[in-house]
Structure 1
């Protein structure tokens, strides 16, 4: 039987927020072997003046990867938290990853990824992948992104869950 829980804050409605952005760009990004995924994605955003992006990891390997999974909280006002990071130092094959790129509350590029991968023994793993700790392995990391020059996503503290989330940002016209 699953134990019910309640988030600490008042329920936020509507939970689905949306905004429109002009002329998003569809990109195929290939990150070469040995490069840090977070560094390359931040460089891409800065070089092209993108404020945000969303997309997925299509394929590739990592020779170093760090990820977190959700665990029941022992204390505090949130029922679940991200646990201690798990480090993978052997080559793993990325199966999929949902990537969101936006701005943190200070206006810097923030990266978020939930992904799944297979380790060298064939075991399936997944969780919150830290892109700044992902070093691409023998196979290039291939992503498909929809990037935005205006609008996109900005982090905020969600009053209901008390987690830092991404919310849509209204497009700023130049």
Structure 2
């Protein structure tokens, strides 16, 4: 009986250590949250003076990256870039859309094997420094990050005073 208790105690400690380490998941929190939902939601909203832009299901502004390609679709934002610019993951099933043309929505396989949503072929992202719905702090960052309109095209209005130097990747 004592040996059984030692084995069980060791197993519990081992599992606790693995849980505390997070299992090696290096994905940004926002991307992980998107993956946890079974269905991704895209909508449009008026954001600042940028007009109608695409947002996720929580109202967070979505962006495209000039260093990505749309034909063929390819994401070039991994590692530290993806930590600052979490990719919008596809989840399972067909995305729920409000104000976004379904023919513009697709997916691309990222280098880690996950599926990222695309609009008009361009992979879409959130910006980690946008803390709430309606913010667009990532607009024009590094001269390469842009909010995306309902038509799938980037909106290049520069609303920032410092263009977010250091986060452009």
Going by fraction, where is strand more abundant, 1 or 2? 1
**Larger radius of gyration, structure 1 or 2?**
2
Query: Structure 2 length as normaliser, TM-score?
Result: 0.26
The TM-score with structure 1 as length reference comes to 0.26
More helix as a share of residues: 2
